[in-house]
Amino acid sequence: MTSYRPDALIASDISAYLALHQSKSLLRFITCGSVDDGKSTLIGRLLYDSKQIFEDQLSALESDSKRVGTQGQEIDFALLVDGLAAEREQGITIDVAYRFFATEKRKFIVADTPGHEQYTRNMVTGASTADLAVILIDARKGVLTQTKRHSYLAHLLGIRHIVLAVNKMDLVGYDSAVFEQIVADYRAFADSIGIADFTPIPLSGFKGDNITALSENTPWFTGPALIDHLESVELDVDKDRAKPFRLPVQWVNRPNLDFRGFAGLIASGSVRPGDRVRILPSGRTTSVARIVGMGGDRQEAVAGESVTITLADEVDCSRGDVIAAADAPPQAADQFQATIVWMDQTELLPGRGYWLKLGTQTVTATIQPPKHLVCINTMAELSAKTLQLNDIGVAEVYTDRAIVFEPYMDSHDLGGFILIDKATNATVAAGMLNFALRRAQNVHWQAVEINREAHASQKGQQPRLLWFTGLSGSGKSTIANLVEKRLHALGKHSFLLDGDNIRHGLNKDLGFTDQDRVENIRRVAEVAKLMTDAGLIVLTAFISPFRAERELARAMMPEGEFFEIFIDTPLETAEARDVKGLYKKARAGEIAHFTGITSPFEAPLAPEIRVDTTRETPEEAAERIVETIMGTWSPVI
């Protein structure tokens, strides 16, 4: 076997060597397909045949192949990629493995993605930045469910170039009939999901057939070898440069008082000094004064380049805004239809607030119950109330403010997003914006002259939202009622929203599943926000078991007007009271999803006020709350 030999130019002229490689185009591609189709072996073979293996790597590969390889005494190329111990022990890929290699014509970054369904989310991660997908099929097995899943995801993520690599042809005697049948089967599926074109190649990753050169074992195949195709395929960056100019602002560069620039990676198009641009979502127009790059001022910058732009006018522009061509700007909206790939063990809770990150923009988003799920096997649309691990669904997405976007099929940078759980900071989903909902364009805030401040001034008070939370039987309603009595005695205008009372009217259609609890609190928060807009001091007494929803309510309020009041009562104390007999029924299995018994309660981490009911009477707690909120003493009623 031949190990890596450095280019002679490195020793003679390193600058020339670096310049040569810098001018090469870069292709990002993934290998995917069902488990055991030979993805890692193929990449290992590509690295070996392109002489990217160092001597120490080659020695270790030979040793590891004898110890944990799956090819007997022969070299197991998959071990070049499968780096995790668990991968080597099982002979499978679990995580996404990235490898870099280069040929005389092009540079490559290849992602080896897992084949198991449970690791579909890892495949999505690898595919999100790929220009091309190599879909592997075991010639002995044909088109499998996971082959279809990965093909659908690759198409969904906008990968235009598909290579159908029919692998392990050596195990079927290089039979052309087997190859043609697999290609026909795959073409029928590809047509059904909208893949218009793909390049089929018969190969053997283990033997090296049709990888770097056409093989004598397949004289009936006249197409390109795999590496030839990878070197010649058209890159999307060329098309991006022909699109209208877009620069998502990543950073406002202000090194001194005389310079204010806006830095970011150009997503599409090109720009020159003097070009008219529009700042979105504000819509303000101006022109480009300078383009500053690593080497100083430039006369032009194009898609794929990171630059700093200065503007001719002092305009409000910050991280998350988009600088775009003035005559062809992208859209801005706060309601969308999106396709979502759920990537977390915890299911989607419709109505819960998640962080939505799109480019340099980060907003709070709520996801509505899915319109449907996509069945990969049949492409049927299935009804569902939520999304679970590896589900692919279509749903409406609402954001708390307008974001700048383009449909994903037009722009991956301004159309692709991720969802992040606010409590755990885990990435729970990847999504693609399909279009803005028409109502998002037709519904606008109506300007009113009697605003929030006017209502508060009329009542002579500062609006507040006092959010009481705690277990059932903790004393929330009792203490909240005592607080309102004291506020009333002080001449304050208030209103108490109680959990049981709300469920007789506004929320009578909701049950007690986690999803219904989320929606219950969302509605209450919206009502409470409207009441504070009217200048009222609003008290809410709800279990509100999840931190995410309490934080959603907090985010709706102006700074300093939300007070989380944790009525901290031990479960055994609350259960001993059991005024309504609910704990007894829950213990008997008569009530499902009961907080503290069969459903979790996420205690506040840093409430404004904490009431320990084992040390403080309701009257004492109410007095302390009023003094804290109002900053004044109130008489005991």
Q: Side chain identity at 619, as an amino acid letter?
A: E
Cβ–Cβ under 8 Å, residues 133 and 147: no
CA gyration radius for the chain? 30
Q: Does 477 qualify as catalytic in the annotation? A: no
Distance CA 89, CA 167 (A): 23
Q: Residue 603 to residues 40, 352, 565, 594: CA-CA distances in angstroms?
A: 46, 17, 11, 15
Helix (H) or strand (E) holding 454: helix 452-459
Q: CB burial class (10 A; 0-12, 13-18, 19+) of residue 86?
A: exposed
Cβ–Cβ under 8 Å, residues 410 and 324: no
Give the strand pairing for 427-436 and 331-342. Answer: antiparallel
Residue 164: closest CA among 95, 79, 93, 229: 229
Helix (H) or strand (E) holding 260: strand 259-265
Q: What is the DSSP letter of 368?
A: P
Q: Alpha helix locations (H) across 91-159?
A: 120-127, 145-156
Cβ–Cβ under 8 Å, residues 112 and 96: yes
Q: Residue 230 to residues 29, 132, 235: CA-CA distances in angstroms?
A: 9, 9, 10
CA–chain centroid gap for 377, Å, is 25
Q: Residue 571 to residues 473, 476, 477, 561: CA-CA distances in angstroms?
A: 9, 14, 17, 30
Candidates 34, 270, 472, 544; catalytic one: 544
Distance CA 481, CA 475 (A): 10
Q: CB burial class (10 A; 0-12, 13-18, 19+) of residue 413?
A: buried
Distance CA 89, CA 67 (A): 10
Which positions ≥6 away from 177 have C-beta within 8 Å? none
CA–chain centroid gap for 326, Å, is 29
Omega before 219 cis (within 30°)?
A: no
Q: What is the DSSP letter of 415?
A: H
621 SS3 class: helix
Q: What is the rounded (10 degree) CA torsion for 252, 253, 256, 259?
A: -90
Dihedral sign (CA 459, 460, 464, 470)? negative
Beta carbons within 10 angstroms of residue 125's beta carbon = 19
Which residues are designated catalytic? Answer: 544
